[in-house]
Amino acid sequence: MILGDFNYPDIDYEQEYVSAGEDAASTRFFNKTQELCLIQCVTQPTRIREGQQPSTLDYIFVDEDNLIEDIEYNEPLGKSDPVTLQWNLLLQVNEPSGCQDKKITGKVIMTRLLLSFQRSVGMRNYGTNQQKVCG
């Protein structure tokens, strides 16, 4: 997973279109993500400022389908204008011999200033997690 504020308002991943010229950094960035077969998961504007057109500047890239689900677009933190994003990250962990699979769903909140991944070090349940632990 690659995520962050990339600040390329001229990229439209939904339409697979870049409004900048061929030599622009945003065009090169878009072409590279396509070449690497990265899936961009953010589908709504992440920067909404009064008097300006909303834009998607924050991206979440994955290299497999169905790793990210239920993206929520929440209010900005403090006086910042980017929305905060929260989503479920689905991981499948295969344990050797005799152990059953563990399916973990974590929630992540992201802004330009704050990246926080809630993760439990002992595989403790924190909300929507499902787990089967070896005996």
pTM: 0.65
Cα torsion 12, 15, 21, 22 to 10°: value is: 110
Specify the range with the lowest mean pLDDT, choosing from 29-33, 41-45, 64-68, 105-109.
Answer: 105-109
What average pLDDT does range 114-129 have in this prediction?
A: 33
Reply yes or no on whether the pLDDT at 53 is more than 90: no
Which residue has better confidence, 44 or 116? 44
Rounded CA separation 22/33 (Å)? 15
Q: Which residue has the tokens 């497999």?
A: 64
SS3 track for 43-110? CCCCECCCCCCCECCEEEEECCCCCEEEEEEECCCCCCCECEEEEEEEEEECCCCCCCCEEEEEEEEE
